A and B are shown apart, each in its own frame.
Chain A
Amino acid sequence: MQPGHRNLCVPILFAAVAGFFIVAPAVGHAVLLESNPALKSAVSGPDVPVKLRFNVRIDALRSRLTLIRPDGSAQPLEISKQTPADTLSAEATGLAAGAYRLRWQVLASDGHITRGEIPFTVTPS
């Protein structure tokens, strides 16, 4: 190897080392701006419209909404196709009174995945 090559190897080695060490341990940036039901809110049942608005465009086809019932069982919710690009909508029906959690996972248009959970309570209508 020529001396010139060796010298150049150091910055390139730096690039490789940096590439593997220097990046944030978090990816994704879809942030939930508002939701219905709201966080830790009480809503009247048995039918609860679900609407989540994010700060960016969402790939609704590859996003998921799951309702966690008071007994811990999970029920996937069907996401409506007729919503704005930044919104996920669904309908949770036949909910008895109790504590629920709405679990969401979205794929943003830029390929980043984020998820979160919204606890809420259903009160008898």
Chain B
Amino acid sequence: MARLLQVFGFLSVLFRGATLTFQSLAVGGIVFLILVVRRANQDSAEVQQACLRWIRRAAIALAGMQISYVLANSIILRQSADMSLREVAGANFVLAGAIGIVSAFTVIALTGARRSTGYADLLLPAAAIITSSVMTSHSMARLDYRAPLVVFTALHQAATAVWLGGLPYLLIAIRRAPAPDFARQLSARFSQLALVSVAVLASAGLLLSFAYVGSFKAVYGTSYGAMVATKVLLFGLLLFLGALNFQLVRRGPASSILASLKRFGEAEIGIGITVILTAASLTSLPPAADLTHDRVSGTEIFARMTPRPPRFSSPAMQELPEDVYAAQKKASEEGSVSTESFVPGQAGTRPNTPAEKAWSEYNHHWAGVIVLAIGILALLAQAAQVSWARHWPLIFLGLALFLFLRSDPEVWPLGPNGLWITLADPEVLMHRIFVLLVIALAVFEWRVQTGRVASGRARLIFPVLVAVSGALLLTHSHSLGNLKEEVLAELSHIPLAILAVTAGWSRWLELRLPSENQTRDAMARLWPLCFVLIGVVLLNYREM
């Protein structure tokens, strides 16, 4: 039963993240169609049809995710609370889900019908989609200032959808535009819309932060505060790209700017989705304002982050707990989890032993050496044109082997637990998938760097995987309480994640921007530099 709940608990979070993404794409597309395409002066029938097709696809995906989310959550509730179907059916999340599902199907129906009139009727289901999402946000469960918080959340989500969800449609429209002037007209209109959206989402976000974070100390002292700060940093990155776009639209000649505009747009979509998913993970954390005890202090952060020599000697296997699963179970039975809230199926928490912490630090520090070497060699290959340095991706194979052997010492090949546990323990499974990703990354990028692959798509695998890994780091572990160790671990992972996201998308831009765009050269230097910095941060990673 516990395993079943764990699986459904995990799935329900996945569905939540996907729901937010597809909701933004559906609502953003509808607003783009009405305010940007329809208001354009030229004949835009083909662009309209393309937008309608993608809105419909987003709505289909949204309906699927909403149905899956409601089902997964209902099963958890029925199993864990022994509740009847009738009782579950009356829950707020079911009602919210039903509104979202009906709205998504309405969008599907309306976008499927051929029409010659406007699209204003699509705004109603779009508003209902936002409403359904707000109904399951933090604001609905607050005790104080509930009504204004609901309004600010709705504005924040709607503005996010219009800006980030509208971006893919701008790229679709530019590609289908019958003339460069029309594409430029669309870009200029979307820029105006994006400016307003950014102002609304930033203002609403600021007000929400006052309510949910509350103080500057909570920004760095709690997981929630640190994640909000990360969101703001990524938002800054998006604004920077948006500013580059804005300059292009205003100043560049129509013939050459569109190619650059599309490429910046792609990077913005990627980073935008990372921000949306970071926001989705925020909904699974208690607001910082509610956790006033046991916050991490500035002194504790300083003590943890102060540079020290790396650890290059590992504790012996005998020093680690013999069976972490038995230890975890024992901790759970002894009631060590009872001081905090936890979700159905979640395993009991157990503080790591000094040997386990030393083991982890050793892993991080050697990983730091490997990534630092990758960054330096990539810089040499890029900036100094050193030909042998182009083989740097092969160093990733060493990282994969190192992770495979040492990331989970309790599991085969080093530990007593067999290979089957790889599939049963989500954390071990995640590590194993990560090893496969690193191998794939090494092989693909080595072929790209040495000229064995000319295909455009194969070259993009490396930046996408790096960016996905960065986003993964942003959300990979959260505590429902202020467990200091978890907050400190999160604070050390956030710079790594931001650097990885920056590295991934700057490499993407280097590959995709037209050669005459000067930003391309800066991007070519930026991503190896990010790798160097990731290596340096890893070398100073501490757990004690």
Residues of A within 8 A of B (CB): 4, 6-8, 10-33, 39, 55-57, 59, 61-64, 85-86, 101, 105, 107-119
Determine if B21 and A15 form an interchain contact, defined as CB atoms under 8 angstroms apart. yes
User: Can you add 14 more A-B contacts, CB < 8 Å, to A8-B171, A24-B281, A27-B16?
Assistant: A8-B172, A13-B464, A14-B468, A18-B471, A29-B480, A31-B291, A31-B341, A56-B138, A57-B141, A62-B88, A109-B140, A116-B338, A116-B341, A117-B338
Residues of B within 8 A of A (CB): 9-10, 12-14, 16-18, 21-22, 25, 73, 76-77, 80-83, 87-88, 90-93, 96, 135-138, 140-143, 168, 171-172, 175, 262, 266, 269-270, 273-274, 277, 280-281, 283-287, 290-291, 335, 337-344, 346, 426-427, 456-457, 460, 464, 467-468, 471-472, 474-481
A93 to B290, CA, bound (A): 32
A96 to chain B, nearest CB (A): 21
Residues of chain B within 8 A (CB-CB) of A21 are 468, 472
Determine if A105 and B335 form an interchain contact, defined as CB atoms under 8 angstroms apart. no
Determine if B168 and A23 form an interchain contact, defined as CB atoms under 8 angstroms apart. no
A51 to chain B, nearest CB (A): 16
A107 to B76, CA, bound (A): 11
CB-CB nearest in chain A for B18: A19
B75 to chain A, nearest CB (A): 11
A113 to B18, CA, bound (A): 19
A8 to B175, CA, bound (A): 10
Determine if A62 and B81 form an interchain contact, defined as CB atoms under 8 angstroms apart. yes
Determine if B468 and A22 form an interchain contact, defined as CB atoms under 8 angstroms apart. yes
CB-CB nearest in chain A for B134: A110
Residues of chain A within 8 A (CB-CB) of B339 are 39
Determine if B343 and A11 form an interchain contact, defined as CB atoms under 8 angstroms apart. no
Residues of chain B within 8 A (CB-CB) of A117 are 335, 337-338
A18 to B465, CA, bound (A): 10
Residues of chain B within 8 A (CB-CB) of A59 are 91-92
Q: Is the interface of B mostly helix, strand, loop or mixed?
A: helix
Determine if B92 and A27 form an interchain contact, defined as CB atoms under 8 angstroms apart. no
Determine if B287 and A22 form an interchain contact, defined as CB atoms under 8 angstroms apart. no
Determine if A22 and B93 form an interchain contact, defined as CB atoms under 8 angstroms apart. no
**Given known A-B contacts A26-B478, A56-B142, A8 and B168 have beta carbons under 8 A apart:** yes
Determine if A14 and B141 form an interchain contact, defined as CB atoms under 8 angstroms apart. no
- What are 22 pairs between A and B in contact, CB < 8 Å? A6-B457, A11-B168, A11-B273, A14-B467, A19-B21, A22-B277, A24-B475, A24-B478, A25-B427, A26-B478, A27-B284, A28-B480, A56-B142, A62-B81, A64-B82, A101-B338, A110-B93, A110-B283, A113-B76, A114-B342, A115-B344, A116-B342
Determine if A26 and B343 form an interchain contact, defined as CB atoms under 8 angstroms apart. yes
For the complex of A and B, the 5 pairs showing the least CB-CB separation, nearest first, are A111-B93, A56-B141, A19-B18, A55-B290, A29-B286
A105 to B478, CA, bound (A): 20
CB-CB nearest in chain B for A17: B468
Residues of chain A within 8 A (CB-CB) of B476 are 24-25
A16, A23, A39, A107: the one contacting B13 at CB < 8 Å is A23
Determine if A62 and B77 form an interchain contact, defined as CB atoms under 8 angstroms apart. yes
Determine if A23 and B475 form an interchain contact, defined as CB atoms under 8 angstroms apart. yes
Highest count of chain B CB atoms <10 Å: which of A4, A7, A29, A32 = A29
Residues of chain A within 8 A (CB-CB) of B83 are 62
Determine if A12 and B168 form an interchain contact, defined as CB atoms under 8 angstroms apart. yes
A118 to B339, CA, bound (A): 7
Determine if B91 and A115 form an interchain contact, defined as CB atoms under 8 angstroms apart. no
A57 to B331, CA, bound (A): 30
A109 to B249, CA, bound (A): 45
Residues of chain B within 8 A (CB-CB) of A57 are 140-143
Determine if B140 and A110 form an interchain contact, defined as CB atoms under 8 angstroms apart. yes
A23 to B267, CA, bound (A): 20
Determine if A18 and B13 form an interchain contact, defined as CB atoms under 8 angstroms apart. no
A61 to B89, CA, bound (A): 12
A4 to B138, CA, bound (A): 39
Residues of chain B within 8 A (CB-CB) of A118 are 338
Residues of chain A within 8 A (CB-CB) of B477 are 24-25
A31 to B479, CA, bound (A): 11
B21, B136, B143, B290: the one contacting A85 at CB < 8 Å is B143
A119 to B206, CA, bound (A): 40
Residues of chain A within 8 A (CB-CB) of B135 are 110
Residues of chain B within 8 A (CB-CB) of A62 are 77, 81, 83, 87-88, 90-91
